[in-house]
Homo-oligomer: A and B are copies of this chain.
Amino acid sequence: MRDAALKLFARDGYAAVSMRQIASEIGVQAGALYLYTADKQSLLFDLMNGHMEALLAAWADTVPPQGDAITRLEHFARFHIRFHAARADAVFIAYMELRNLSDENFAVIEDLRRRYEAELARILEQGQAEGCLTVPDIKLATMALIAMLTGVNTWFREGGRLSRDRVEDIYVDMVLKAAGAARAGTPTG
């Protein structure tokens, strides 16, 4: 059910998808869905909450690389692009359907998002302190870099002009430069 809802919500939007459509996608009657979800709102929340929890858990599972903040920023950028590229539908929903959450559900998701952003902010702070990164404002740089990285999802399609790895390299380069990394250089190839 969650897979079907994810796919349909991502394609048509939460408000435009009916419980009957979700049911039909999995070959069942609408009433049967209510054995597995309290209502439509909970279904949306579960998808978004699951996505954000998975994001934070996956980040916590990565082994932070040895080295300076530049290395850790690169690590974050690569992690972000890879994780998001692998879950295009969930990412899309998580960014587009926030307004369809009830107030308390929204607060939960918003908190998870803030926690993720704080991870990047911490790296920038450390870089600033170490002197290897130069950002004019930690908070703005955090928002700007995440917007830039997440933007990959809006246009990237597997099998296009550039491979996933190449796109990753190019974005890492731009992220490092934007953060004023002391040893930033354009990737060749």
A residues 27-64 in Cβ contact with B at 8 Å: none
From B12, B161, B171, A144 is in contact (CB under 8 Å) with: B171
In Å, the complex CA distance between A137 and B186 comes to: 10
Nearest Cβ distance between residue A119 and chain B, in whole angstroms?
Answer: 17
Instruction: Tell me whether B186 and A136 are in contact (CB under 8 A).
Output: yes
Instruction: Tell me whether B16 and A100 are in contact (CB under 8 A).
Output: yes
Given contacts A13-B99, A151-B148, A178-B177, contact A162 B140 (CB under 8 A): yes
Nearest Cβ distance between residue A79 and chain B, in whole angstroms?
Answer: 17
For A82, what are the chain B residues with a Cβ–Cβ distance below 8 Å? none
What would 18 A/B residue contacts be, using CB atoms closer than 8 Å? Answer: A12-B99, A13-B13, A15-B16, A16-B100, A135-B174, A135-B186, A136-B173, A136-B187, A140-B167, A141-B174, A143-B152, A144-B171, A146-B151, A147-B148, A148-B151, A148-B178, A174-B178, A177-B178
